[in-house]
Chains A and B, each alone.
Chain A
Amino acid sequence: MAEAATKEKKEKPPEPVLAERLRLEVERAVQRSLKGVELFAAPPPTVGRTAKTVLHRRGTLSLYHYHATADEIYRVPLLFVMAPTNKAYILDLAPGQSLMEFLLARGYDVYMMDWDAPSDAERDLKIDDYVLDFIPDCLRRVQQDSGEHDVTLIGYCAGGMLSAIHVALLPDGPAKNLVCFTTPVDFSKMELFRSMADAKVFDVDKLVESVGIVPADLVRAGFDSLRPASRIAGQLRLWDNLWNDEFVKGFRMMERWGNETLPLPGGYFRQTVKELLRGNALFQGTLKIGGRKVELGNIKVPFLHVIAQYDHIVPPECAHPLVERVGSRDKEEVVLPGGHVSIAAGANAVKRMWPKLDSWLQGRST
C-alpha cells in the first residue's frame, strides 16, 4: 500500500501552481524591501502636468486656462468648478489619467476654478461669495478670454452645488449647459455628516469664532471618519503592492491629493453646517443666497448629473433629487459604478465617465 502511494507520488510532478506562487511571492518580498526604502526618500509625485496658464488669482481662487491641443475646438468653452475642500488636480493627475488632457484631445476649450488655502482675510467668505462673486467673476473672464458668450459650467461635488445654485439664481446668465458630478442636494441622507454636525454635540459657532479658518486637519478628519479603517487598510495594501510601480504611483498621487485637503473659510463652514446639514435648506427650498431664495426649478439649461453608485461621501440618494428638481427639459442623470473620487479619476473613469461626458457635451458645445 505504502509502496503504491510512493510510486504514485513519484509519478505525479510537484504542483507547478504552488511553486510558481512561492517564487512570485519571494520575488515580490525582495522588491518590497528594495522599493520600500526608495519610497521613504522619494519626492512627492508630480501632478497637474497638463499645460495651462493662470488667468486670474484672487485670494483663495485661481482660474486656469488649459492649452488647447486639438486643431479645431468646440465653440462653447467649459468652466470647471472644483469643490472648495480639495485641489483640482484630481482631474489632472498624470498623462493618461487626466480628464483635462482627455477633454483637450477631444476638442474642448477648458478652464478651471481651483482653490488655495484661504487667508485670514477670507475667514468670513460664505457660499454667497462663491456663488455670486467668484463664479460670475470667472464666467466673465472666460467670456473675455474665449470671445464667446456661452459657457458650460461643470461642478464637482460641492463645486456642482455652487454651480447649480449660481444657475438657479442667475438663470439668464452665460451658463449654456450645466454638468454636476456627485452633487449633494438632500443632506438628510448624509447621515454621518449630520451626526457629526448635530447641534447637541457640536458648537459650530464656538469653533468658527475660535479658529476663523477651519483647519485642513479637521476637514480631512471629517472625511476620514466616514471610513475610519480605510487609511490603515490603504497603508497595508500599499505595503502589499510595493513591488508594483503602477500601483504605488497611483496610490501616492491619490494620497497626496487626500493629504492636501484644504482649510475652509469659517463663514462657508458655518453655513454648510447650519443651513445645509442641519436645516437641509437646499432640499427644502428655504436656502437664501444673497437674500434670494434658491429654487432649483429655475435651472432651465441642458443638465447632466453624474452620480457614483458606491459614493460614501455623497450617497446616490443624497444626489438623486437634483435631476428631479431642476426645471430643464433636457436633463439626464447617470449612475455609474464607482466611488466619489473614482467616478472622475482613475481607470474606471477613463472607461465610463469620460466618454459619457464627451458624448453628452459634443452636441451641446456648438
Chain B
Amino acid sequence: MATSLIPDPFQMWREALTKLEGNANSIVTGSMDSQELMRSMHQLSALSLNMQQAFEKAIGGYLARVNLPSRKEVSELAAALQRVEDKLDRLLPDGAGPAAPRPPRTRRPPPEGAAPPAVEAGTPTPAKPARRTKSAASRGRRRS
C-alpha cells in the first residue's frame, strides 16, 4: 500500500497492542522477584487445586455409589483398548496384502554446491545464523 501522510488508526492500534503487551509482560515478570507475590500466586493455585480435588472426589464418590465409571476411568479404559488394538494391528497380517517394501538405505548427500532443498511451503533460503557466539544472547528479545 502506498505511503500516506494520514496516519492509519488500525495500524496504530496494532502497534499499540504490541507495545502494551510487551510492557505488561515486563511489568508482571519484573514483579515476580517479589517473594510475597510468588507466595500469593502459589497459595492461590494450591487453593484452586484443592477445590478441584475436593470436587472430583465428591463426584467420584457419587459415581461409585450409583455404579457409574468416571470420565477418567473411561478414558483409561479407551487408552488400554487402543493399546491392544495397536498391538493386534502389528501382529495380524494386513488384509491389503504384504507390507510395502521399504526404500533402500543407500541415499548419499548431494554433491557440494548443489541447489538447496525445495520446501513445499516455499523456496527456502539457506540458513543464516544470527550469531554463533555468546554475544547473540545479549541482544534484545522479541515475540516468538
Closest to B137 in A: A316
Q: Residue A115 at the B interface, CB < 8 A?
A: no
Residues of B within 8 A of A192 (CB): 29, 32
Which of A168-176, A278-286, A295-303, A307-315 has 4 or more CB atoms under 8 Å from chain B? A307-315
Closest to A315 in B: B137
Instruction: Choose among B1, B52, B134 the residue that contacts A20 (Cβ–Cβ < 8 A).
Output: B1
Residues of B within 8 A of A15 (CB): 4, 6
Question: In the complex, A21 Cα to B1 Cα: how many Å?
Answer: 9
A18 touches B119 (CB 8 A): no
Residues of A within 8 A of B53 (CB): 210-211
Interface residues of A in 210-227 (CB under 8 A from B): 210-211, 215, 218, 221, 225-227
Question: In the complex, A119 Cα to B5 Cα: how many Å?
Answer: 61
Q: Residue A54 at the B interface, CB < 8 A?
A: yes
Question: In the complex, A310 Cα to B137 Cα: how many Å?
Answer: 8
Q: In the complex, given contacts A57-B86, A225-B41, what are 9 additional A-B residue pairs having Cβ atoms less than 8 angstroms apart?
A: A75-B107, A96-B120, A228-B24, A228-B28, A230-B143, A309-B131, A310-B144, A316-B134, A355-B124
Q: A residues near B, CB below 8 A?
A: 15-18, 20-21, 25, 53-55, 57, 68, 70-75, 95-97, 101-102, 105-107, 109, 116, 119, 146, 148, 192, 195-196, 198, 200-202, 207, 210-211, 215, 218, 221, 225-230, 233, 236-237, 240, 307-312, 315-317, 320, 332-343, 347, 350-356, 358-359, 362-363, 365-366
Q: B residues near A, CB below 8 A?
A: 1-4, 6, 8, 10, 14, 17-18, 20-21, 24-25, 28-29, 32-33, 35, 38-39, 41-42, 45-46, 49-50, 52-53, 76, 79, 82-83, 86, 89-90, 102-110, 116-117, 119-122, 124-132, 134, 136-137, 139, 141-144
